[in-house]
Amino acid sequence: MSRIAILGDIHSNLDALEVVLADCRAQCVTDYLCTGDVVGYNACPHECLEIVRGLGCPVMMGNHDFYVCSEQDLDDFNAAAAQVVEWTRRQLSEDEIAWLRALPFTKTVKGVTLVHSTMDNPESFGYVFDNLQAEANFIMQKTPICFHGHTHCPMIYERTMSGVYRIDPQDFKLQMGRKYFINVGSVGQPRDGDPRATYVIYDNVEKTIQYRRLNYNIEAAQARIRAAGLPERLAARLAFGQ
Ligand code: ZN
């Protein structure tokens, strides 16, 4: 086992997920990990959930996953996101909802930690956008590497003896004695201005991180959102990577 694909924030985008999984096969990926938010925003929750479930890999609880399966009120969500959560609840079977409900918030597997948001209170889904927020995570991160998502913005945070540093997403060799908090970006709704589907390949023998960015049929994903009667702005944003 050496080439591990880490997928996150798939968000019911079947067109993006299929392209990513085809790339994983072409890249000789041997294992899969998922940082959560399988559902929300896009129009194929059932299909995406079944594909991810079929991978048989560890999947963390994302905030959209949590709200879809918990029937909690949606005060924390903007109107468009909340509308899709309520729509998604109606699309999934009881069995699929039960599968979501059983997802863990964090897990250590194959020597790395997985979490959707941050190890600093994973159940409140805080966002990590700067070094201070990354530092709060590092205090709770027990393994050298932790993969996360949630912001939909790929980023590497590195903890050395002298402090926390932010490294733009790039092919990267991990150094011994340092800690890494790695945002794997989003398969289904990238927000860093690049609309291509994003995931990471971690080679745990070579100790390398590789960001993969892939074109997919954005028009098809947009058409599915419109056909389902979901908010137009969720279709529009896919084209801009925002
Ligand atoms: Zn998300």
Distance 161 CA to ligand 1 centre (A): 31
User: Would the CA dihedral through 161, 167, 173, 174 be positive or negative?
Assistant: positive
- In single-letter form, the type of residue at position 162 comes to S
Residue located via tokens 């399988």: 38
Q: Is the pLDDT of residue 1 over 70?
A: no
Q: Which of 189, 194, 196, 238 is nearest to 214 (CA)?
A: 196
Residues 6+ apart with CB under 8 A from 97: 68, 69, 89
pLDDT at residue 222 tops 80: yes
Q: What is the pLDDT of residues 91-115, one digit of tens each?
A: 999 999 999 999 999 999 989 999 9
C-beta neighbour count of 126 within 10 angstroms = 15
CA of 59 to the centre of ligand 1 (A): 13
List the one residue out of 145, 122, 146, 5 whose CA is nearest residue 63: 122
Phi and psi at 59, nearest 5°, equal -130, 130
CA–centroid distance, 186 to ligand 1, in Å, is: 7
pLDDT digits (tens, 9 = 90+) for 45-54: 999 999 999 9
How much is the pTM?
Answer: 0.96
Q: 10 Å Cβ neighbour count for 145?
A: 21
* Distance of CA 140 from the midpoint of ligand 1 (Å): 22
Note the pLDDT of residue 166.
96
